[in-house]
Amino acid sequence: MNEEIKRNTNRITIPLPDALRNMVKREMNDSDEYKRICCVIEETVAENDENDCYAALLEKIEPYLKDKTRNFVGKLFMFKKRICRDGERCKRGDNCIFLHENEAEGADYKNIEARREVFNNNNNNIRKREFETEPNKRIKNDTKFSNKEVILNNLPEDLWDDVIISDYCKEFGSVSEVRMLKPGKYLIKFFDPSSAYKFISSTEKTFGRENIKKFYNKFVRKGKEEILQDLFDEQKCLLQEMQSILGSEASFVRLRAICIKIRSLVNSEENSDRENKNINFKDNGINKKNSVYFNSFFNPTN
């Protein structure tokens, strides 16, 4: 990637620009003490190495902001480092911590836009090549993209903030929930699977950091009927695949495992007479003919 479009998101610019000083003033509720906070920030940034700056700022500012310190310091590091995805529609006005064209120096804004364009082009080319070279694989794994939940792991302390994470993820789509699972690990729920997939497949370093990991949440809780539908769909794909790849032992093994899983799910209701079970396949969009062993599972004589 062209070095011109790389930006350092780990460093706070000193002396503090007027826009950042105004943000500090708002965070301090227009208290005159904000001037002292600005001095503390500038002194701390000047005296500490980039890797130690975050921890040092937490220590220095904590006496002033108490439990709001972590959120405040996180905003300092994110301030005007990324383009606001809402652009002209942004309703946050002066309170927006992200970059807008009318408040950025032309060169800086163009560099960030160029970086975004490079990443978008790379993503589009990668997806196009994947689809052209392995179309069957993409179709087979469509059910994978029904997941709306993504895990972020190894987040540094300066990013332990729901608002910062939510605003970042909104660049890929609407976010319904952000929740800390443990220090440094967050769950992000998107409104639709395509947004989660867009985030997962992006080759851009998350928050510009090398060590942050992102992956689908493998423990999404689904209802029985939803799980059954997913299993039927995958079963159908495997059957279609085996029509063209006869003798694929791996596919047969997976098909057998799916059938066993279906059987365990539909028989999971305890103390219930099989004849009285009312699994409404029609209402739930499940076609019982998709199941290879349907009669074995539901025939009361078995």
> For 210, which DSSP code?
S
- The SS3 assignment for 190 reads strand
Number of C-beta neighbours around residue 44 at 10 A: 20
The predicted pLDDT at position 152 comes to 92
**Could you report the per-residue pLDDT of 118-170, keeping only the tens digit for each?**
444 544 554 444 444 444 444 334 435 578 899 999 898 888 888 899 989 99
Statement: the pTM of the whole predicted model exceeds 0.85: no
Query: Can you give the pLDDT at residue 293?
Result: 52
43-60 tens-digit pLDDT: 888 888 777 888 888 888
In degrees rounded to 5, what are phi and psi of residue 176? -95, -25
Total count of residues recorded for the chain: 302
DSSP per residue, 59-114: HHHHHHHGGGHHHHHHHHHHTTTSB-TTGGG---GGG--SB-GGGS-HHHHHHHHH
Residues 164/78, Cβ–Cβ less than 8 Å: yes
What is the C-alpha to C-alpha distance for residues 37 and 60, in angstroms, rounded to an integer?
9
CATH architecture of the domain with range 145-216: 2-Layer Sandwich (3.30)
Distance (Å) of CA 208 to CA 8, 23, 107, 205, 213:
8, 23, 19, 5, 12
Q: Are 9 and 207 in contact (CB under 8 A)?
A: yes
User: Residues 94-115: pLDDT tens digits?
Assistant: 777 777 766 655 444 455 555 4
What are the backbone dihedrals phi and psi of residue 64, each rounded to the nearest 5 degrees, phi first? -90, -40
Report pLDDT digits (tens) over 2-46: 333 333 445 787 788 887 888 888 887 767 788 888 888 888 888
Secondary structure string (H, E, C) spanning 232-298: HHHHHHHHHHHHHCCCCHHHHHHHHHHHHHHHHHHCCCCCCCHHHCCCCCCCCCCCHHHCCCHHHHH
Domain range summary for the chain, segments of one domain joined by +: 3-103, 145-216, 224-298
Closest CA to 286 of 257, 256, 266, 267: 266
- Give 215-272 pLDDT, tens digit per residue: 888 766 666 776 777 677 777 777 666 656 555 667 667 777 787 787 777 776 544 5
Give CA–CA dist 41/46, Å, rounded: 9
Whether 150 and 196 have beta carbons less than 8 Å apart is answered as: yes
Query: Is the pLDDT higher at 121 or at 179?
Result: 179
Query: Which residues, at least 6 apart from 89, have a Cβ–Cβ distance to it below 8 Å?
Result: none
